[in-house]
């Protein structure tokens, strides 16, 4: 067979092994992987560099209005370009339903926005208004169209579904093999803390961290898991920021849970002391859940290394430090009025490679799993996340030795700051491909606007995850009540 492209002389890294070899690409797919492959219309000399599946960014907010009406600075062009420079070949941003909207309307809106993407994309829905027509008709149709995951919130008055609402939607997800992602923080604990702080006039950015206690996350993670267990539905805990939360996830996974989780670089690279920077600079570090402390960072690393998390995701939520973003409500406002989130889609993988692989905290195989393979499996991207014949040729070639400092310009996003500014990193993605097309090469963008394609995803792969059977749902133990 003649190939369109052959990548030769690479150190191929997958989630399970590392070996020397060549990759032949034909019609956008990997056609062969072998020790030596001749031919190829184009030959790329990997020169011993790492050749791995392109990253899949499974948590990003792109061209999304928050529930309080702030639009992210990145649209699908700038957001996807930034992702590509960070070693990603595809991403799954959120498509957010605000109250009163139908899911069909949301998908049509984000379909138009995503037409600018340079990398392949899908969406996780955000559901804030699970009316009967959403649960019975709109969501099942969205799942059937390949949008097989969605996020719900246990916090924020405009988003929080309440425990009963969670049970209803989890039950629908279970029937269709969809994954429920959850933002787990106890809404009343946070509101109560806000009231205590406001009464004392403690409204500077640093109090954002105090207002959202670790216990609020831990309590909500535990509650979300028990709710999902009751109806035996798969659950994905997003942006875990606490040692206690991670320990609960670890324990429940060991018990056979249909449970998945991620953490994010900001919880490992930054602390709540960053919120106490001079003036309003701390506003740049406001995200929810909030940044924690060094002890938490150590614990989260242990959980990453021991398999508690499927992914390390960016939670790219780009709000500029101006009146279009962070300060939409004014420059000198109390912390609850400052937009919530920080950018990081380009920094995620270089940071994880450097702090994880280069510093010996995780193996290269774990890096591949955490950055790509596990997201593909969890979210049903059956042609992505692996180097194997038949898979999309979504490939990143990394130079593991290049050292550089993080700069805003390197992020290639539409932001006016990066929270990772100045960090010294080792390792850089030099060439990034989506379906065999080079989109970034040696710091230059090669992609054309709109070349990304929608990825229709499969239901979650539950092999190896036994799940739960609440006694009360077991016909042998519930007096025969037909509950499922
Ligand atoms: N949750 C996120 O996932 N991102 C930004 C803010 C939030 O609450
Ligand atoms: Zn969230
Ligand atoms: Zn997010």
The rounded Å distance from CA 464 to ligand 2 centre is 27
Number of domains in the chain: 1
| 217 within ligand 1 shell (Cβ under 6 A) | no
Residue 483, pLDDT score: 83
Testing ligand 1's pocket by substitution, the residue of 71, 128, 149, 341 carrying the most ligand atoms inside 8 A of its CB is 341
Residue 292 lies in a domain: yes
Alpha-carbon distances, residue 49 vs 400, 429, 439 (angstroms): 7, 10, 18
Ligand 3 center from residue 383 Cα (angstroms): 25
Reported as a single tens digit per residue, the pLDDT across 285-341 is 999 999 999 999 999 999 999 999 999 999 999 999 999 999 999 999 999 999 999
What CATH number did the domain enclosing 361 receive?
3.20.20.140
* Buried/exposed 216-232: b ≥16 CB within 10 Å, e otherwise: bbbbbbbbbbebbbbbb
Q: Residue 105 sits in which domain range?
A: 54-371
Q: What is the pLDDT of residue 249?
A: 98
Bridge partners of 120?
A: 90
Number of the ligand 1 atom closest to the C-alpha atom of 341: 5
Name the stretches of the chain with pLDDT < 70: none
Residue 117 domain flag: yes
- Predicted TM-score (pTM) of this structure: 0.98
Residue at 397 is within a domain: no
| Domain membership flag for residue 77 | yes
Q: 182, 183, 262, 313: which to mutate for ligand 1, most atoms within 8 A of CB?
A: 183
Ligand closest to 93 (CA) is 3
> Mutation test of ligand 1: which of 185, 317, 343 has the most ligand atoms closer than 8 Å to its C-beta?
317
Is residue 288 in contact with ligand 1, taking CB distance under 6 Å?
yes
Q: Is 44 exposed, middle or buried (CB count within 10 Å of its CB: 0-12, 13-18, 19+)?
A: buried
Tokens standing for 295? 């002890």
> What's the pLDDT at 482?
84
Q: Which atom of ligand 1 is nearest to the CA of 156?
A: 8
Separation in Å, CA 416 to CA 32, 227, 319, 325: 43, 40, 9, 10
Ligand 1 in reach of 183 Cβ (< 6 A): yes
Could you tell me how far CA 30 lies from the centroid of its own chain?
25
In a domain, 422, yes or no: no
In a domain, 384, yes or no: no
For 412-437, write each residue's pLDDT tens digit.
999 999 999 999 999 999 999 999 99
Say how far apart CA 72 and CA 187 lie, in whole Å: 24
Per-residue pLDDT at 174: 96
Rounded to the nearest whole angstrom, what is the distance from the C-alpha of residue 287 to the centroid of ligand 1? 7
Answer whether residue 206 is part of any domain: yes
Report the distance separating Cα 330 and Cα 365, nearest Å.
46
- Show the tokens assigned to 118: 């340079």
Q: Is residue 454 part of a domain?
A: no
133 Cβ partners below 8 Å, 6+ apart?
102
């Amino acid at each position: 067979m003649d190939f369109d492209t052959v990548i030769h002389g690479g150190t191929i890294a997958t989630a399970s092994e590392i070996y020397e070899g060549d990759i032949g690409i034909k019609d956008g797919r990997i056609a062969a992987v072998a020790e030596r492959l001749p031919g190829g219309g184009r030959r790329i000399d990997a020169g011993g560099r790492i050749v791995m599946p392109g990253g899949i960014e499974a948590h990003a907010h792109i061209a999304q209005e928050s529930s309080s009406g702030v639009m992210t600075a990145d649209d699908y062009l700038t957001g996807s370009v930034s992702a590509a420079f960070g070693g990603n070949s595809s991403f799954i941003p959120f498509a957010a339903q605000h109250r009163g909207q139908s899911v069909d309307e949301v998908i049509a809106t984000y379909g138009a926005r995503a037409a600018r993407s340079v990398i392949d994309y899908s969406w996780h829905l955000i559901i804030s208004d699970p009316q009967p027509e959403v649960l019975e008709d709109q969501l099942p149709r969205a799942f059937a169209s390949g949008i097989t995951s969605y996020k719900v919130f246990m916090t924020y008055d405009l988003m929080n579904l309440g425990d009963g609402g969670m049970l209803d939607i989890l039950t629908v997800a279970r029937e269709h093999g969809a994954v429920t992602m959850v933002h787990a923080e106890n809404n009343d604990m946070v509101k109560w803390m806000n009231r205590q702080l406001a009464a004392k006039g403690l409204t500077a950015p640093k109090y954002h961290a105090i207002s959202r206690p670790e216990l609020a996350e831990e309590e909500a993670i535990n509650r979300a898991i028990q709710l999902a267990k009751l109806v035996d539905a798969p659950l994905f805990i997003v942006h875990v920021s606490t040692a206690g939360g991670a320990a609960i996830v670890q324990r429940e996974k060991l018990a056979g849970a249909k449970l998945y989780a991620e953490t994010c670089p900001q919880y490992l690279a930054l602390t709540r002391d960053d919120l106490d920077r001079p003036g309003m600079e701390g506003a740049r570090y406001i995200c929810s859940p909030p940044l924690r402390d060094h002890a938490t960072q150590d614990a989260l690393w242990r959980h990453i290394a021991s398999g508690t998390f499927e992914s390390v995701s960016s939670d790219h939520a780009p709000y500029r430090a101006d009146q279009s973003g962070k300060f939409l409500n004014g420059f000198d406002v109390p912390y609850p009025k400052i937009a919530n989130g920080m950018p990081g889609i380009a920094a995620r993988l270089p940071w994880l490679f450097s702090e994880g692989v280069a510093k010996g905290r995780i193996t290269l195989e774990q890096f591949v799993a955490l950055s790509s393979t596990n997201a593909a499996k969890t979210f049903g991207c059956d042609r992505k996340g692996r180097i194997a014949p038949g898979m999309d040729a979504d490939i990143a070639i990394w130079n593991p030795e290049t050292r550089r400092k993080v700069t805003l310009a390197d992020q290639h996003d539409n932001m006016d700051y990066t929270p990772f500014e100045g960090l010294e990193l080792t390792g850089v993605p030099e060439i990034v491909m989506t379906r065999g097309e080079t989109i970034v090469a040696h710091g230059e963008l090669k992609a054309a606007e709109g070349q990304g394609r929608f990825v229709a995803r499969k239901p979650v792969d539950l092999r190896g995850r036994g799940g739960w059977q609440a006694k009360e749902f077991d016909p042998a133990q519930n007096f025969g009540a037909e509950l499922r």
